[in-house]
Structure 1
Amino acid sequence: MKISYNWVKQFIQLDWDAEQTGELLTDLGLEIEGIEKYESVQGGLEGIVVGHVLTCVQHPNADRLKVTTVDLGTGEPVQIVCGAPNVAAGQKVPVATVGTTLYDAEGKGFKIKKGKIRGEVSNGMICAEDELGLGESHDGIMILAEDLVPGTKASDVFDIENDTVFEIGLTPNRADAMSHYGVARDLKAGLQQKDLKLELITPSTSSFRVDNRTLKIDVDVADKTLAPRYCGVTISGVQVKSSPEWLQHRLKAIGLTPKNNVVDVTNYVLHELGQPLHAFDANYISGNKIIVKTLETGTKFTTLDEVERELHEDDLMICDAEKPLCIAGVFGGLHSGVTEQTTNVFLESAYFNPVSVRKTAKRHGLNTDASFRFERGIDPNCTEYALKRAALLIQELAGGEITSDVSDSYPTKIEDFQVRVSFDNITKLIGEELPRETIKNILSSLEIKINSVTDGGLGLTIPAYRVDVQREADVIEEILRVYGYNNIEFDEKWHISVANSSRYEDHKLQDVVGSQLVSQGFYEIMANSLTTAAYTELSEQLKAEHNITMLNPLSGDLSVMRQSLLFSGLEAISHNINRKQSDLKFFEFGKTYHHYGENREEHKHLSLLITGNTNAETWRQSKPVTSDFFYAKGIVTSVLSRLGLHSLKVSPIKSDLFSEGLILSLGKTNLVEFGIVKRSVLKAFDIKQQVIFADFNWDNVIEVTKNRKIKFKEIPKFPKVRRDFALLIDEKTTFAEIHNIAKQSERNLLKEVNLFDVYEGKNLPKGKKSYAVSFTLQDEHKTLTDKQIDKIMNKLQQSFEKQLGAELR
């Protein structure tokens, strides 16, 4: 939000520099994110002075140039070459002295230098009004008043605006500070704590009067819930034209483009007082009647941006007797606004329901200065005052007469908030006991009325415009921010307690696993928990009735909470592939959300997504290795192994999301499902390469990890022995069967069983394949003998032959 310092100083007469004021505003919670200069004339006419042309003669070497001598008030005239046809001796003219920077129409600066023009020395430049930014004429140089003294700064001659603009990072709860008056009000409270008691000056509306009652427009508020207060008045005989420069400068300083004097006044009052207003062309209002109501869903309405919109039955509309004119609190209609042909105006000032305005604005994708304020809650007691303030300004700038009484529909007054605050709680939350008089002074400076004072606390009335102060804690926060967070003293002695923390806490295990995955080349992603309901159609296991639906979704793509981490991960994969990043390894810790009957559940997961090559191409590796199922299995088992989870049960997966996959479990607890994502699923995301997805049930992983006991043992000092078998087996036989048979045959000395080669094809009987399997043996207490090793290997061979029909090759 942009705030003009000159504008603020209309409400509070402060002579501080902008930096000092910005620091105080930041301390008060209105954080200053930046301070910039505004100049109605770029450069502020710095270096431009009044010059007196003493002589003017023809340039000896150019027909269209003149050589002049100009008195700049320095005591010694300077020579300037000028090409303007109207330059003459005796004139008072604006002169850009040597070193001055002038700006062209695009804002590009160029410096005036001492030089020679066609052989004659020129020490400056006599300027036209467009060269100074004071107009558009370039017919000749500007001729100034004869009584001006040479050397006078041009900035003292011309009425230019130099301002400082604060960029305030306004938090959504501070609706009271969404105007220059609101900022000045906060500034007054902060200055009072620095013993500067300045008065808050408010614009007077005492001169408001009804000139005649020749144009009455009846107001009928049909929906008083959505429009608790609605005011209006007519102004007849206005002349719509450009606004005066002072008003244009005020709006330009805060980034607004002036339109015309009537519209500019409504924008001015909006940013001055925080009350949105809307001016209608009264001649366009049919039946001399305004009706505030909702219309049927599907009703067409064209807004100011020339977009035809379909209304919703909950959209509050400003209508006349025949048609809609404006979306209440959000956006005006294309034909009902003020134009240069407008002579009669109906001026609206209202308080609309914040929730209704917010929903309507989101529904139509609109975000205006008016909706920004209405959504957060404005001051309902400012409505009529702002209307009169704007009406008087329109009369001042556009002429006309007030031709109706103020219509004010306010059936149920919006009451102030009643809050009781305890002195003990103030001390407890702030951490320091503040003087009670200081507390009362702060509250009074914030326009919070003190109804009662007891030894225990205060009974308060909070103004209705402070929608963010409705609880005791809110009041204490107000006291603290005005008192100053930096003024709270801290003890030099720190009391620190160290809590017992389990190594199995969620965040610690996440750090362990996350660090491991990063070291293996993975990148962590954080996807939105909101997604589209259409994703449930990609799997029969995901039911639409299990979706948790948003009441007020931002869009259809963000209407439900996700039931799986797969689809948000595939969105990230697709996004990167479309940007030429095809070798990807992602992981995400996130939650899924489910609606089962009357219950809502959320479950934590760790998901892995792998696609493309395992490593980038290098000169040492001419052929990249593509990530496959077995690579992913190694990653998955390494994660579980890092957490101390071994002896896992492997079973095939039954899911329509995978073309093939496995489930790893410990006992009856499933820990992870992983596999190759089906092409039909990938097609929905326009992914053409293979993607492997692993879904850890993180809640289960944490639970079983907690129950695993850590055992420590010495590293054996006796050597391991490896023996290999090349087994000819049936093609349906799995390595898991070989592994289990080996472990059952030799439980003590057999430490590892690994598959290091698989062959299928020529020179093998039909239906057969060859597995090369290694067996690692070790006795932790002595060195194994050949006799022991041979005995174990014979035993293994017999077991394979008997149970699998295997043959040694």
Structure 2
Amino acid sequence: MNVSWKWLLEYVRFGGSLDEAVRRMTMAGLNVDSVEPLADGDALLDVEVGSNRPDCLGHLGVARELAAITGAEFVVPSADFQEGAEDVCGLASVEVADAQGCPRYTARVLRNVKVGPSPQWLVRRIEAIGLRPVNNVVDVTNFILYEHGQPLHAFDYDRLSEHRIVVRRARDGELFEAIDHSRHTMTAGDLVIADARRPVAMAGVMGGLDTEVTERTVHVLLESAKFDPLSVRTTSRRTQLMSDSSYRFERGVDYDGVDWASRRACRLILETAGGTAARGMIDVRTEPSRPSAIRFGFGLIRRVLGIDVPRGESLRILRALGIEVLGEDGETVEVLPPAFRRDLTRDIDLVEEIARVYGYDKVPYLKHVPTAAPVTTRREEVRHAIESTLTAAGYQEAITITLTDAESASMFSPGDDTAPLATRGTALAAATFVRKSVLPGLLQAKRNNQDAGRGEVAMFEVARAFRDRPGQAMPHEAVHLALLTDDEPEDGCGVLETLASRLGLQGRIERRPTARVAELDAQWQADLVFDGAVIGFCGLLGDGVCKRLKFRHAPWVAEIELEPLVTAAQLTPRYRPVPQLPAIERDLALIVDEGVPWRDMDAAARGAGASQLEDVQYVSLYRGKPIPTGRKCIALRLRFRDQESTLTHEQADAFQERILAAFREKLAAELRAAGQ
């Protein structure tokens, strides 16, 4: 932001040099990128203002910072002015049809003003920051924007149809001509300021040509408002109209500063253009959420910074920054941040403010800094094991947004008919609900990859999902693992088995056919059951969702609640001695019914009483001729080993026959004959 040095000194009684001010501001986090000398001993400072500090987008905000840093007196100019007898409500009306887009809109009317050139003091201030003087009324609005940071707009009162202001969404196809003579076709998403007939301004972006203040203007309607940052940004980017006003509205203006800026502008317009201000102000507003008090312990400063900042100096810094001290109790103090400092929400934020103003240079440099080894929790160990296993299997980790639209927020939540949780406020207009499942984010990521021309994907995400708990204050938060792959379903299930093995839970996660997940193919889905409890599901995405997302083919997906696995996981590998004696392996090809799962075959083999059976391994699956319809052929490998003596083939034959008998009895299996 451009800051005039002489203008800045009107608000702070600083007796030091420009170089000292620049150095101390930069050291305190308000970086001055450059200093350009101007005429009359003035200088133009290019101040870098962070996106979280819109309060410094005006000379008053910068002056407040300089005063806090140096201990100089901060001076707020007067906004008092004399009102006339005529009531403003009898001269104009304001209707806000979209309170979310415009939480506060104020209007004042000034009558019989004389529009003309600005006085020299105002011209100097405007030119010093690189603006072109227009006329006294417009120059005052620009002056206030750079003084306080609150954008204003002055309308020619007589050119407003029915002297009426309506803040509404535009109608598709409405035409608008801006002050810079550019013409635009509005869309239904644009917030506009309209009169009784047509739009007269793009809210927060730029005023209209028809109602601009000119030398012929006699009466002025002065707007001071707060607009939704996302709405302003969307319209500004779509129309390619970027202004000083839109820059500030996009970052958020002070709700309470709307009135002060309006009063200050009225005072200066009456001084420079004469006229009379109507009595009162039209103020249409929705009360905002106010900052919460913060309880702050001085010991926290010592723990974080490693130094003692004098108590009195800490309180001075807080008060100088506009933070109200509500009360002190021993080593703690309760404070209330000002409305224009929305970035101050926690006690650690206050430590940062005290540290940067007190001076980082006062924190001693330690050559050897003691550190403590980080402690890894069990949950973190399990998560790391999951991430490393899936990455090794060819999956890529995704990080998606927790907020989504209402439809996506309710997906993949079988048996849960509660409404998704809505947020009070978000920067994303289309994403105002908290997800119940992690999978919608992965589906959107697949869609983005598909649109970008990328091929098959395999992704996973470990993240929180949220579900409402009626009658309880807080929702249920659970950490979920979600997987998505374009590979075959068998490959996806194999990855789940590999993951279970890595967690020391092999054989304990079962797949049971189900049809309860509406978003999945009814014929290709299963519940994931761990120790008898359902902890998730897997399956092919259904046709309806695939068509809506325009997928070329259905991916395989899975989602698991991780807490049961975290509790049961055995991450420490168990040592097994290297076998000293040879094993005998036998391969079998068995024909079984289509519905027989592998776990039943594994259980039948291990429960057949073959004491020397060491392992059962799946080899392959075949369907088709000459295997009868409704049947399938599964090839498996049996490994036998005796730990005491060398196993003979005759012994292995006997164990194999026991296992075949168990297959025939329990699963109606038959051994595939040669040539079959």
| Shorter-chain TM-score range | 0.7 to 0.9
Superposition deviation, residue 250 in structure 1: 4.1
Superposition deviation, residue 276 in structure 1: 3.2
2:514 aligned with 1:653, yes or no? yes
1:799 paired residue number: 662
Opposite residue 156 of structure 2, the aligned amino acid is D
* 3-state DSSP of counterpart to 2:569: helix
1:280 paired residue number: 155
1:638 paired residue number: 498
Opposite residue 798 of structure 1, the aligned amino acid is A
1:675 paired residue number: 539
Calculate the TM-score normalised by the size of structure 1. Answer: 0.64
Contact 1:533–1:560 (Cα < 8 Å) also in 2: yes
2:33 paired residue number: 35
1:177 paired residue number: 56
The equivalences for 1:115-514 within 5 A come to 163-171=44-52, 174=53, 176-192=55-71, 232-234=109-111, 236-239=113-116, 249-252=127-130, 262-285=137-160, 330=204, 334=208, 337-340=211-214, 342-346=216-220, 348=222, 350=224, 357-358=227-228, 361=231, 368-369=246-247, 371-372=249-250, 375-379=253-257, 381=260, 383-392=262-271, 395=272, 401-405=273-277, 407-409=279-281, 432-435=307-310, 438-439=313-314, 442=317, 478-489=353-364, 502=377, 505-514=378-387
Please, which moves more after superposition, 543-552 or 221-230? 221-230
Per-residue Cα deviation, 1:367-418 (whole angstroms, up to 9, x for no partner)? 82563576434545564334323554xx3xxxxx41214745499xx99999
Question: Structure 2 vs 1, CA of residues 653 and 597 (structure 1 numbering), >3 Å: closer, same or farther?
Answer: same
Distance 2:328 2:629 in 1: 98
2:453 aligned with 1:593, yes or no? no
Question: Structure 2 vs 1, CA of residues 732 and 311 (structure 1 numbering), >3 Å: closer, same or farther?
Answer: closer
Match of 1:718 among 581, 601, 607: 581
Contact 1:297–1:311 (Cα < 8 Å) also in 2: yes
Question: Structure 2 vs 1, CA of residues 373 and 329 (structure 1 numbering), >3 Å: closer, same or farther?
Answer: farther
Per-residue Cα deviation, 1:329-382 (whole angstroms, up to 9, x for no partner)? 8467636632546332426375x5x6xx43895798578256357643454556
Distance 1:348 1:805 in 2: 88
Please, which moves more after superposition, 181-190 or 793-802? 793-802
2:395 aligned with 1:522, yes or no? yes
Contact 1:727–1:806 (Cα < 8 Å) also in 2: yes
> What is the aligned residue count?
640
Superposition deviation, residue 571 in structure 1: 1.2
Per-residue Cα deviation, 1:47-67 (whole angstroms, up to 9, x for no partner)? xxxxxxxxxxxxxxxxxxxxx
Opposite residue 602 of structure 1, the aligned amino acid is E
Per-residue Cα deviation, 1:613-661 (whole angstroms, up to 9, x for no partner)? xxxxxxxxxxxxxx21221122111111111111233322323413413
Contact 1:281–1:342 (Cα < 8 Å) also in 2: no
Per-residue Cα deviation, 1:258-283 (whole angstroms, up to 9, x for no partner)? 76664344123211233433212133
Per-residue Cα deviation, 1:456-508 (whole angstroms, up to 9, x for no partner)? 89999998866777998877665443212331347778666668655xx2222
Distance 1:651 1:450 in 2: 61
Superposition deviation, residue 531 in structure 1: 1.7
* 3-state DSSP of counterpart to 1:272: helix
Opposite residue 168 of structure 1, the aligned amino acid is V
Identity of aligned residues (%): 21
Question: Structure 2 vs 1, CA of residues 164 and 26 (structure 1 numbering), >3 Å: closer, same or farther?
Answer: closer
Contact 1:563–1:593 (Cα < 8 Å) also in 2: yes
Match of 2:420 among 531, 547, 569: 547
1:695 paired residue number: 559
Opposite residue 650 of structure 1, the aligned amino acid is R
Please, which moves more after superposition, 579-588 or 673-682? 673-682
Contact 1:275–1:349 (Cα < 8 Å) also in 2: no
Superposition deviation, residue 204 in structure 1: 8.7
2:489 paired residue number: 629
The equivalences for 1:563-582 within 5 A come to 563-582=436-455
Contact 1:416–1:464 (Cα < 8 Å) also in 2: yes
Superposition deviation, residue 9 in structure 1: 6.0
Opposite residue 516 of structure 1, the aligned amino acid is T
Opposite residue 483 of structure 2, the aligned amino acid is L
Calculate the TM-score normalised by the size of structure 2. Answer: 0.75
Opposite residue 548 of structure 1, the aligned amino acid is L
* 3-state DSSP of counterpart to 2:447: helix
Structure 1 vs Structure 2 CA RMSD: 5.3
Per-residue Cα deviation, 1:80-127 (whole angstroms, up to 9, x for no partner)? xxxxxxxxxxxxxxxxxxxxxxxxxxxxxxxxxxxxxxxxxxxxxxxx
* 3-state DSSP of counterpart to 2:33: strand
Contact 1:525–1:588 (Cα < 8 Å) also in 2: yes
Per-residue Cα deviation, 1:226-251 (whole angstroms, up to 9, x for no partner)? 76986553453324799998566445
Distance 1:675 1:527 in 2: 21
Superposition deviation, residue 419 in structure 1: 10
* 3-state DSSP of counterpart to 2:579: coil
2:485 paired residue number: 610
1:142 paired residue number: none
* 3-state DSSP of counterpart to 1:795: helix
Superposition deviation, residue 675 in structure 1: 2.2
Opposite residue 678 of structure 1, the aligned amino acid is G
Match of 2:652 among 789, 792, 795: 789
* 3-state DSSP of counterpart to 1:558: coil
Which is higher, the Rg of structure 1 or of structure 2?
Answer: 1
Opposite residue 385 of structure 2, the aligned amino acid is V
Opposite residue 682 of structure 1, the aligned amino acid is C
Question: Structure 2 vs 1, CA of residues 607 and 490 (structure 1 numbering), >3 Å: closer, same or farther?
Answer: same
